[in-house]
Structure 1
Amino acid sequence: MSTVTSATAEESGRWEPVEDLPPSAKLVAKVLDYEETLTQSQLAEETLLPPRTVRYALSRLEAVDAVESRFSFSDARKRVYRLAI
């Protein structure tokens, strides 16, 4: 198996937890893959999805342990999300 094929197989396996999730959850996961950490409002802005849809997507991603969240250091009222896969 070549290294390119091996890398592709690893990448494919990495995304396995989100395969059966709605498109909005996949979009949120992909944006987090590029952006490292974002708040819900930043995710809504980046994805152009309504805030309610982002909340739903994050809950689905959390259910399959694909994202992690923590309180924001700059504003403890907000949570910051990052991809965990």
Structure 2
Amino acid sequence: MAKDGVQKLHANLAMSGPAAPDGAGAAIQINFSDPGAVDAACARAASSGATVIISPADMFWCARPARVRDPFGHVRAFNAALDPH
């Protein structure tokens, strides 16, 4: 727990490793508090060799998701909640 009482989580995911089996059907979900972080994460992954599967976009259900597939076939899903007001 951070000193301000807000839980913090940080992960630095390398775009390397063994190839994902075909049809693995799993994704690593990374949730951000700032919708702009979804765009930044997607751009960083793409510049590191990932293929953008779903580009960042505001959805009617008040979320900003994106998905990328790394060069080894692993899927990363990014998401941030949007203010409904």
Q: How does the TM-score come out when normalised to structure 1? A: 0.32
Higher strand share: 2
| TM-score, length of structure 2 as denominator length | 0.32
